[in-house]
Amino acid sequence: MTLGSAGASGQEQWTVGADGIQPRPWSGESVDMPTGRLHAVSGNGLVAGRGLCLAPVTLLDPIDWTWPDDGGPEWPLCWICLALTC
């Protein structure tokens, strides 16, 4: 399936971006983790590094991060991206 295109279920698939990346301890080692809000990214945003809300983002690995499922207290979702994707 192509990112940002309609899937078999009729829902769009979004890549996830974050406001930034910062090293954090995880399972005894330092790994780069997102900071700030998570954003939905698709289409031109993949090339431009911009969320649907047009905020600059760092793209996250789609194997590890899905929109909007990985949002939570530690990684809140951008409310503008959420409104544009529901």
β-sheet bridge partners, residue 33: 22
Confidence of residue 2 (pLDDT cuts 50, 70, 90): very low
β-sheet bridge partners, residue 16: 40
Domain membership of residue 2 (yes or no) is no
pLDDT in tens, 47-67: 999 999 999 999 999 999 999
Domain that holds residue 36: 15-85
Domain membership of residue 49 (yes or no) is yes
Higher confidence at residue 19 or residue 2?
A: 19
Domain membership of residue 33 (yes or no) is yes
Average pLDDT of the chain is 88
Q: How many domains does the chain have?
A: 1
Q: How far is residue 1's CA from residue 19's CA, in Å, rounded to a whole number?
A: 26
Domain membership of residue 7 (yes or no) is no
